[in-house]
Structure 1
Amino acid sequence: MQIVGYMILLVFYLCYFIKMFQQRKQGIQTDHMGKGKQGIQKKIEIMMKGTTIATFIIEILSIYLNTMTFPLIIRIMGIFLGIIGDIVFIASVLTMKDSWRAGVSYEEKTDLITNGIYQISRNPAFLGFDLIYLGMCLMFFNTILLIISLLAMMMFHLQIKYVEEPFLKQEFKEQYLQYYQQVNCYIGKRTGFK
């Protein structure tokens, strides 16, 4: 179980850092968390960055200590959630191509991506994070891991609501509003819209 937990995290973070390195080689700054922002947006991005780092540390410790609370079947469900989270995150990064960023950049021009996995989720990268965090909680449950994971997931949602969506509405106007009305925040298409 520990090896599987480490592998899920390894795949996820390899994807994250390889993409960041590839973009850096092309002169693209990927990490914009807390940069060029003020007020609540800056606070959200800094807190989001802090909680994701803390979650990673607690996940590694939980795997190392092999904290086991749930029965095997629940832990296996956690494995599947973690693997699905990896797949969703990788699909989101590949689909975004060079428009992928960690945080919002007001200076760099990016494209509004609505194809691939973005046809069924406006935020598949955050969905991938959430699935991995939930999977780790099921596999290596402990109270500290649960609390920090929920806090990180809450910060992702605040990032979407107060940083990314306002930026996308301002940047892409009607194109984003149509997309927003057709595709749910995390998963699924909305019905009843033409």
Structure 2
Amino acid sequence: MATNIVFHEGSVDIAGRAELLKQKGVTIWLTGLSASGKSTIACALEQHLLHQHRFCYRLDGDNVRFGLNKDLGFDERSRNENIRRIGEVAKLFADACCVAVTAFISPYRADRALARALHAEAGLGFVEVFVDAPLEVVEQRDPKGLYKKARAGEIREFTGISAPYEAPVEPEIHIRTDQSDVVESVRVITEYLTQRGFI
């Protein structure tokens, strides 16, 4: 724990920032198996919101590991730390009244609950979106060839094969990507944000 630090309040509080930007801060937390469609939906959602002139930014699992989390592996402890950091970063974006769109497998309920709690403590919105597709479907998609490698024993602790995925119990939004396309997924999320006054 850091010592001798003091949190400095800004000259504009979150309510003032929301009024100026005409939107509230919120994190859209997309979770699901690899190849379930998280990144595809996140990209499309970001593009859609930006075309609506909304302040939005996407945090993608692979992209973040090129910089902020490049020191982390894929063991359980590293995965926990990966999600902890993303929860903190997403909270900062939401505090800036940004719609933060995250796309991470985030396999453990406890880690997602921690990210939610960080937002709740700060009075910020958090929307868990379960991007759901059966294992046989994502294995057929397998755009990176990861499932094939996991089945061959070339990747240890691979979520859905040799490591667990704990599906959300009560997500705000549940999308079955084997039953609906990207356009419909974006529509459902955008409608939810609009109805709850985030955008």
Q: TM-score range by the shorter chain?
A: under 0.3
- Greater strand fraction, Structure 1 or Structure 2: 2
User: Whose helix proportion is higher, 1 or 2?
Assistant: 1
| TM-score, normalising length: structure 1 | 0.28
